[in-house]
Amino acid sequence: MSNFFLGRRGFINLEEYLPSLPMKGLLTFEQIEDLDSESKYLVHKAKDAAQYAYAPYSKFHVGAALILENDILVIGNNQENVAYPMCMCAERVALYTAASSHQGKKIKKMAVVAHKKNQKELTAATPCGGCRQVMLEYETLQNTPIQIVLLTKESKWTIFPSASFLLPFSFNKENLI
C-alpha cells in the first residue's frame, strides 16, 4: 500500500491510517456458501434483480435485495436514462420502495451485487457515496442497524454490521443543530 500526499501536512501511510477507521466487526467469507442463510437468500434475490436492471449505457447491472423486520423482501436494480443525472442506483430503488410501500417497517439487512453485461460472474461492487448517505438516513431513523452484504474487491463476501461502517465521518441531522 502506498503513501498518500496530504499537501503541507506531508505524507501519510495508509496502512497506519486505515486501521483507525471503524472497520472492526466486519465478517468476511471466502465463499457465498459460507454466508448465513438469510444473507445467502438476499444475495440470490439481488442477483435475480440485477438481471432485470435497465443499464443500456453503463452495461453494469446492479441488484439490491433487502429484508424487513416482517420478513418482506424488497428488491431494486439500477435504472438508467439517456439524461445521465436521472439514473438511479439499485440500492436507492430498493430503499425508497421499502420506505414508500412499507412505512415504519425496519430494514434488517440488504445485499448488493453487480455483474457486467453478458457476464454471469459477479464482480466486486460497493455502494456509491449517495447510497451510503441514504442507507444511513434510514438506519438512523429506525434506530436499528442495517446489515449490508457485499462482494468486496478481494472476492470476499463481507457483512457490514451497520450502514454506518460504510460512511465514517458522515453528515447527519446532528450537524444541523
- Applying CB under 5 A, the residues found at the interface with Zn ion are 89, 128, 131
Give every CB contact of residue 89 below 8 A, 6+ residues apart in sequence: 62, 78, 127, 128, 130, 131
Is 154 known to be catalytic? no
Nearer to Zn ion by Cβ, of 131 and 136: the residue is 131
- How big, in percent rounded to 5, are the helix, strand and coil portions of the chain? 35, 25, 35
Nearer to Zn ion by Cβ, of 62 and 67: the residue is 62
Nearer to Zn ion by Cβ, of 92 and 109: the residue is 92
60, 35 in Cβ contact below 8 A?
A: no
Q: How many CB atoms lie within 10 A of CB 112?
A: 28
Q: How far is the CB of 132 from Zn ion (least distance, A)?
A: 8
Q: How far is the CB of 128 from Zn ion (least distance, A)?
A: 3
From the candidates 15, 30, 69, 91, which is the catalytic residue? 91
Q: How far is the CB of 12 from Zn ion (least distance, A)?
A: 28
Please identify every residue annotated as catalytic: 91
